[in-house]
Structure 1
Amino acid sequence: MSGASSTVTAQRVFTNRVNETTAFSRSWEGLHEALDAAEISPVADRLQGRRNVLTFYGVGGIGKTTLSQELERRLLAEAAAEDRDDVVSVRIDVSEDGACDLEGMLLRLRAGLGQLGSRWPAFDLALASYWARAHPGEPLQEFLDASPAVRRASRSIGLGEQIAATVGQVVPAGAGGLVGLAHHAALATYRAIRERVREGRLLSECDLFAELVEADADYETLSYFPYLLAWDLERQPRRGRAGHRPQACVFLDTFEVLGNRADRTVEQFVQRCVYLMPNVLFVITGRNRIDWADHATHGELDFTGPECWPNLHFSNTTAEPRQHLVGYLSDSDADSYLREAITRSGEPAMPGEVRERIIAGGQGLPLYLDLSVSHFVERLAREGQPSADHFGGSFTAVATRSLRDLPREERDLVRTTALIDRVDADMLRAGQPALPDGCVARFLRRPFLTHDDAYAMPYALHLALRLAVSEADRALPDGWSDHDRSRVAARLLRRLGEPLGDGAGRVATAQALESGLKLSGAHGVFDDWMVWAAQRLVEAGQWTHLDAGLTDGAAGSPEYRAVRTAIRGVKLRRSGRAPEAVAVLNGAEEGLAPSGLTAQLVRLHRAHALRNTGDYTSAADLYRGLVEGEFDAAARYWLCDHAYLNGRFAAALETLRGQHGRDAADEGERLRLIGHVWRVNARFDEATGVYTEAIALAREEGLASAEAKALANVAQTACWSGETATVSEAANRARELLDVVSNPVELVKVRSAEAVAAALADDPATARNAVADTRRLADGIGYRGGHNLADVAEILLHALAGDHDGARRTRSHLDERTRTSGGNTYWVPIVTSWIDGPDAAAEYHPEVDWVDGPGPALRRWAEVTGLR
């Protein structure tokens, strides 16, 4: 450090924790002996208690991460010494941003296990089925390359190629669709896999495989995929003369991050992974004892109680693997560490009296010893032999001395690093723009920084040191005030958002937003890029885990709290709990500037929630307030939709014709809404033409959901023209896509179209069944508009049968329902044209602005049925 030649040598030392390393060895050997001796594999028998979790817990700075890393190093070194290639490990620090994203975690597990061989058919085929539906248009390879941690793990074994090869053996034509080709190839792959599963020709011996392929493509389904990995692992060929079974160990570090969350959804997913992979040893390190064996966690987690985790119960003190409290180092071990950490000509460089002061103050805390060694080296370089008086004291005192040892510029860099989970040189320069590059480079070589190039920002301070630095800094003459911290945090926050241009991937966006929200909640700073990032992730359907683990943020600004509330509202609305979403979002604008971007975000999602509850009028009021604001395009589209719902057809058409979508998905929505206007005006040729254009656009862009919607609309149009073959073809094609990209609202529309087609084809029994199905499907998802479609088909059946009283009774229900919701009122004059003729029908809802007047429109509707 002094730059001069010296006989002093500093080196990293691992103080041998005999009990812990012995526990690991016994756990590793015992797990595989039990697997070899089992009459029924615990992978197949999911009721067996799990004995595959070894836990080390203790206070921050006690050396849990170092212990975990050393256990992994020894495991792999011993396997290499025995020339074994059937032992692999996977390391995940769950505190890192994005580390607990379930997709990324499972792909890191799959990449780690992929070192054992390239064939993992159950997992890879199920993943292909999931990916085609959950990520329409996004090649898997793009996702694999987006996160540094996933990219490094996947590239080491060619994960994308492995998965493509597995899929290609089953569906050669679709092999590229998952990894990098057009979305329709991926969908074709899914359909082919699904059909082979239904016919019992694909992995029928793998329990759960068929269920998981058929299930909805969401995180709930994905959280059971570890079972498939365990099943595939069990079928890997044994190796070597001894016939060893392939063995895997997963190290989960900083686990307290999950246990400390009020919402334990992420921990629930991780626990499922551990439970469903009983043939893998999981080594969990964290500050807290895990409580999975406690019955009190029932309802928060799936697998709870000593029956599920017999070795994790507090009463178990002998059987491995189990839970171990990581204790402080003994005085003897601490002295050995200090003697070996820094030497002069092979002898301890640190005098005995200095070691005694450090041992007395640190009481065996390894991080305390590390900082003391760094302080000793600094003193040695500056002043010669340090005095014992310079050592000892509390952990905060040691942190204070370590800060004082640094030049002023580097003290500011430490303070900057303590504000955020991870940094790189660019982030540090953003936080301290006045410092030269050389100062930043020197700081990054400091021994108290950890480095892991699996992450885009590879440097970090130990969490305990981050907290100690914040406390110690207040005692220094040049310490930062809260205002100083907020100013630097604001610069860091801006830097986090800089890479998030139009080309930024979902993973990078989600990780930046997660880091940004933590900074915002802790230091009262905010930046508008977080609003755009949240909206982008919501639009992409990636909203499920955004609010997990975020605290209320004691220093959080109103904008921070509003974004968190908006994300929660989206989560409620998308999960079918729109009334709860409205209640949550109602007070979210408190303290915000009415014209601010965050307030507009809240209003936009409150409007969406109101619309989902059927309150179109209140939703429209909010959309109007967003016109000419940041969400102008979305507001104008939904106002056009409201105009259409209320029969202001000419106004809706004029606005829609003057617009163009921001992207292919938006343009498809615009085309479809134009088609809706033509359809309810009985201008069926124009409607079909626009819907056909929307279908072509969706196919070109690989937008399966948009194509399914447009096909359902074609069926809704063709049914009024008596084109039963067209209805059947469009309905079948829509259902194929909806089997891939679930959208139950469109299934309601398809079934109502089939009801109309059957009624006009003089098949009342089939029509009645279809009407009943329409109502049942609508009730199942809380879709009130589905009953409007069912009423229309039912009124048609009554009218065709000459039952005008029955038709009028149903019309009365339809009129009441549409008036209450503030939309779809145009259906009342339409059905009246079948009962009382077009002239009488014009008297109902005269405010409806038919595109070419009420007379022509209602005559067309009357002629459609052949009744007038």
Structure 2
Amino acid sequence: MARVNLRAAFMSGLSSTVTAQQVFTNRVDEVAAFARSVDELHRMLDEAEVTPVVDRGQGRRNVLTFYGVGGIGKTTLSHELERRLLAEAREKERDDVVTVRIDLSEEGAGDIESLLLRLRAALGQLGNRWPAFDLALASYWARAHPGEALQEFLDASPALRRASRSIALGDQIAEAVKQVDPGGLGGLTGLAHRAALVTYRAVRDRVREGRLLADCDLFAELVEADADYETLSYFPYLLAWDLERQPRGGRAGRRPRVCVFLDTFEVVNGQADRAVERLVQRCAYLMPNVLFVITGRNRIDWADSGAGGELDFAGPECWPHLHFSNDTAEPRQHLVGYLSDSDADSYLREALVRDGEPAMSAEIRERVISGGQGLPLYLDLSVSHCAALLARGGQPSVADFGGSFTAVATRSIRDLPREERDLVRTAALTDRVGAELLRAGQPGVSDGSVARFLRRPFLTHDDAYAFPYALHVALRQAIGEADRTLPDGWSDRDRSEVAARLLSWLGERLGPSGGRVATAQALETGLKLSAEHGVFDDWMALATQRLVEAGQWSELGAGLTGGPVGLPEYRAIRAAIRGVQLRRTGRVEEAIELLGGAAGDVRHGGRTAQLVRIHLAHALRNHGDYTQAAEIYRGLVGGEFDAAARYWLSDFDYLNGRFATALTSLHEQPVRGPEDEGERLRLTGHIWRVNARFEEATSVYHEAIDLARREGLAAAEAKALANLAQTACWSGGTAAVADAAGRARELLDLVPNPVELVKLRSAEAVAHAMAGDAGAARSAVGDTRHLADGIAYRGGHNLADVAEILLGVLAGDHESARRTRSELDARTRTSGGNTYWVPIATSWIDGSLAAAEHLPAVGWVDGPAASLGRWAAVVARR
């Protein structure tokens, strides 16, 4: 199903001294609003004649928002609400209440795959049957992640690993697959790719036959849609559909209660590019039977009609309770206010007690309350400062407190020993830290100091993350300003030097074989450090290329802009990422323009410059400018991308008829792996094929097919089968072409590649012409041109020209054949590739020994007489 149709279908109708409890003891309104929201949502769901999961036109009433300035206590409020919900469930012995917590400021938190799998893992606590989601996910994974085991992905992130292993998520999904296709089970858990694709085929075929989840509206469309993030972002609907069918508990048949807590929401709705927010919003809209509790600095504008151009579901009809005019009905939006003076005084009295009495005198408390204006983080830091003074045996005085938030942050830093002051400054450079990362930033600091620092109350801890510690974002921002007034404060240069050490350590920790998730998280952190502190490390260029090769180009660098320093290398990496995104989405000319000037200011020959150059070459090649692309590939020989450059130069030699040179270079190049070996085999087959040595070509293509099958490389197997069809069309007849094309299309249905579809249709055109069916041949030629135009594949017209010339020759219309040959000659000379087809076509029209002075020079593998003689014989046999 096309993306626009899919979108339209879903948018259509049918350990501190201050505990969380102490901070929010008197947040009565917020706590009550949460309780009412939970009750109201489930009352509405129980009373609805048609569930809003099915009736997608119903307005959504499942989002509760708390927003306010940084440091106001929104995160602590969110944790407290979750704690109360789960505590109440335990008291009532309810096992059908589950929560999911996601901090959107963390690396990778906005990744739709991780987000959905965390939701699925939490819901797995309610039971192990989620057939709609699990089967659709298995189908998606088989195509989107060839060769990557789902379990490996689940284990790559600490948060996802902990959530998934607690309910054996991999086993639950595998069991759902087993019900449909017992033989495909190994393909999901170990992801032997062929087995996984067999699983997809089994699910798809049963869907088409109406024997699988026929009552789940749009399940079939989601299974058959392209396996990309756009499609995946609609999968929350399947989770909601499955949730509606979970067993009800108790005599009253109560429905399960599920709450998703999304914290630090300003990270996604405070950006100029709202792509991530759009995906998150789809989750909330498509799961109307789940309460989403959003905390962030900004009021969300989903109910504003003006947001319709950026978000799918916008306006008061979609979110009637989120409109600014609603101040009664829950769930709705709440501005989190500052603590009142009496609440703040109660907090300060209870937060720090000595001998049963408040450690802070009334005068000190009054000073703190006056300075903090009810900001909980301000109060928290003031309490920490008081505790530090008492620990040193001092007697706190009024003069030790008050002032701006920056002044409080300054005192908090000054209270620390020298080594810990450097550690807190290091922690302020990045979103999250751990002991090893801190040691990398401060290699001279003792392990004891690191351990003591990590116990400080201003750090939060969550072991669901690889780096489990974090400073409050408001404190992080204040430290830089506060540090300027301290005698040992860091300069911008000091911060850059430490940031460079952190960046280097991230690259060393990642290593050359880091998994996709780890690579993406490290690169995201690295890009932030680079943008904010003017540092750079070459490993980021390699990590970018690794993710591009893995197909993770769409989400790279989301939300990043040039930093205050904006090193040329950083800007070049950003341009390379954007260039890949433009090229992969069909905007090749824009990609060429962007990449053409992106490496101008970076060190010539460096990894970053090479990254930009190789993607510029790929863009030029896609555009049909083979000669310019080859010039760039030549410049990359001997560098970081030497192997890729040498391969594409061999391909350029083949395209220009330098067959012996191409064969020699292919033989001399070291093999990097099965994917690389498959590419070399296929290119060798191309050379034999265009020299009319069809038996050798067929043999090599079969070798490539066998290799791809052994290694589970479905995309490579589809390519080799398409090439086999291109060979069989000249010598094997329509049956052989139909067999190879049928097997290729079956795989291309799983791993789409429109270029191969163009090649298959052109092979069928030749096969029909050779069989004497001119009507079918001409229809296939037209289809070839149409498919080629649809994906801007200029080489497709060369293939169509060859078939059209063949038709003219076989019909005795040599004048028509010569006109088409002239068009083919002009096109191939301009592009700098596929020039050998002109002398081949000439051998059909004028004979194999026709005068060659006006023809493109071709180094036939065994001379022009033999090669062109074989081509002439092809037509003569007909």
TM range (shorter): over 0.9
The change in CA–CA distance for 1:636 and 1:591 in structure 2 (over 3 A counts) is: same
Structure-1 separation of matches of 2:572 and 2:339: 46
* Post-superposition offset of 1:696: 1.1
> Is the 1:133–1:187 Cα contact (8 Å) retained in structure 2?
yes
**Partner residue of 2:282 out of 272, 275, 280:** 272
Which amino acid is 1:333 matched to? D
Secondary structure at 2:260 match in 1: strand
1:704 aligns with 2:740: no
What's the CA shift string for 1:598-634, capped at 9, x where partnerless?
1111000001001111111111111111111111111
Structure-2 separation of matches of 1:174 and 1:213: 16
**Partner residue of 1:15 out of 14, 24, 39:** 24
* Post-superposition offset of 1:344: 2.2
The change in CA–CA distance for 1:255 and 1:633 in structure 2 (over 3 A counts) is: same
> Is the 2:637–2:645 Cα contact (8 Å) retained in structure 1?
yes
**Partner residue of 1:681 out of 666, 671, 691:** 691
Residue number in structure 2 paired with 1:66? 76
**Partner residue of 1:659 out of 665, 669, 674:** 669
The change in CA–CA distance for 1:844 and 1:189 in structure 2 (over 3 A counts) is: farther
* Post-superposition offset of 1:214: 0.4
1:405 aligns with 2:415: yes
Which amino acid is 2:734 matched to? T
* Post-superposition offset of 1:845: 2.5
1:444 aligns with 2:454: yes
1:736 aligns with 2:746: yes
1:817-828 aligned within 5 A: 817-828=827-838
1:829 aligns with 2:863: no
> Is the 1:311–1:320 Cα contact (8 Å) retained in structure 2?
yes
Structure-1 separation of matches of 2:678 and 2:261: 46
> Which is further off, 253-262 or 290-299?
290-299
**Partner residue of 2:570 out of 560, 563, 568:** 560
TM-score (norm 1): 0.98
1:275-286 aligned within 5 A: 275-286=285-296
Structure-2 separation of matches of 1:209 and 1:573: 31
**Partner residue of 2:763 out of 744, 753, 756:** 753
Residue number in structure 1 paired with 2:262? 252
Which amino acid is 2:23 matched to? F
Structure-1 separation of matches of 2:155 and 2:608: 31
Residue number in structure 2 paired with 1:325? 335
**Partner residue of 2:368 out of 358, 364, 382:** 358
Residue number in structure 2 paired with 1:140? 150
Structure-1 separation of matches of 2:732 and 2:823: 27
Which amino acid is 1:304 matched to? A
> Is the 2:187–2:194 Cα contact (8 Å) retained in structure 1?
yes
* Post-superposition offset of 1:844: 4.5
- Structure 1, gaps ≥5 residues long: 1-7
> Is the 1:56–1:64 Cα contact (8 Å) retained in structure 2?
yes
Structure-1 separation of matches of 2:478 and 2:442: 21
Which amino acid is 2:816 matched to? G
> Is the 2:836–2:856 Cα contact (8 Å) retained in structure 1?
no
1:773-784 aligned within 5 A: 773-784=783-794
* Post-superposition offset of 1:815: 1.4
Which amino acid is 2:288 matched to? P
1:195 aligns with 2:200: no
Structure-2 separation of matches of 1:660 and 1:204: 51
> Is the 1:537–1:543 Cα contact (8 Å) retained in structure 2?
yes
Which amino acid is 1:15 matched to? F
1:724 aligns with 2:764: no
Secondary structure at 1:383 match in 2: coil
**Partner residue of 1:421 out of 431, 448, 452:** 431
1:154-553 aligned within 5 A: 154-553=164-563
> Which is further off, 498-507 or 151-160?
498-507
* Post-superposition offset of 1:10: 6.8
> Which is further off, 347-356 or 365-374?
347-356
> Is the 1:722–1:761 Cα contact (8 Å) retained in structure 2?
no
1:801-812 aligned within 5 A: 801-812=811-822
* Post-superposition offset of 1:298: 1.9
> Is the 1:649–1:850 Cα contact (8 Å) retained in structure 2?
yes
Secondary structure at 2:65 match in 1: strand
Which amino acid is 1:763 matched to? D
1:33 aligns with 2:52: no
Secondary structure at 2:94 match in 1: coil
Identity %: 75
* Post-superposition offset of 1:661: 2.5
* Post-superposition offset of 1:663: 1.4
Which amino acid is 1:14 matched to? V
> Is the 1:88–1:112 Cα contact (8 Å) retained in structure 2?
yes
* Post-superposition offset of 1:148: 0.5
1:635 aligns with 2:645: yes
Residue number in structure 1 paired with 2:6? none
* Post-superposition offset of 1:726: 1.9
* Post-superposition offset of 1:42: 0.6
What's the CA shift string for 1:446-505, capped at 9, x where partnerless?
111110000011011010000111110011011001111111000000111112224311
* Post-superposition offset of 1:867: 6.4
Structure-1 separation of matches of 2:689 and 2:275: 44
The change in CA–CA distance for 1:67 and 1:714 in structure 2 (over 3 A counts) is: same
Count of residue pairs brought into register by the alignment? 861
- Structure 2, gaps ≥5 residues long: 1-15
* Post-superposition offset of 1:357: 0.6
The change in CA–CA distance for 1:804 and 1:136 in structure 2 (over 3 A counts) is: same
* Post-superposition offset of 1:729: 1.1
Secondary structure at 1:328 match in 2: coil
1:578 aligns with 2:578: no
* Post-superposition offset of 1:590: 2.4
Secondary structure at 1:314 match in 2: coil
Structure-2 separation of matches of 1:10 and 1:43: 41
> Is the 2:620–2:628 Cα contact (8 Å) retained in structure 1?
yes
* Post-superposition offset of 1:739: 0.3
Residue number in structure 2 paired with 1:111? 121
Residue number in structure 1 paired with 2:614? 604
Structure-2 separation of matches of 1:246 and 1:408: 52
Secondary structure at 1:298 match in 2: helix
Which amino acid is 2:208 matched to? R
What's the CA shift string for 1:50-83, capped at 9, x where partnerless?
1111111111000000000000011111111111
* Post-superposition offset of 1:780: 1.2
The change in CA–CA distance for 1:181 and 1:134 in structure 2 (over 3 A counts) is: closer
> Which is further off, 808-817 or 199-208?
808-817
Structure-2 separation of matches of 1:722 and 1:532: 45
TM-score (norm 2): 0.97
> Is the 1:371–1:402 Cα contact (8 Å) retained in structure 2?
yes
* Post-superposition offset of 1:811: 1.4
Structure-2 separation of matches of 1:118 and 1:841: 74
Residue number in structure 2 paired with 1:4? none
> Which is further off, 256-265 or 516-525?
256-265
> Is the 2:17–2:457 Cα contact (8 Å) retained in structure 1?
no
> Which is further off, 762-771 or 87-96?
762-771
Secondary structure at 2:392 match in 1: helix
> Is the 2:150–2:191 Cα contact (8 Å) retained in structure 1?
no
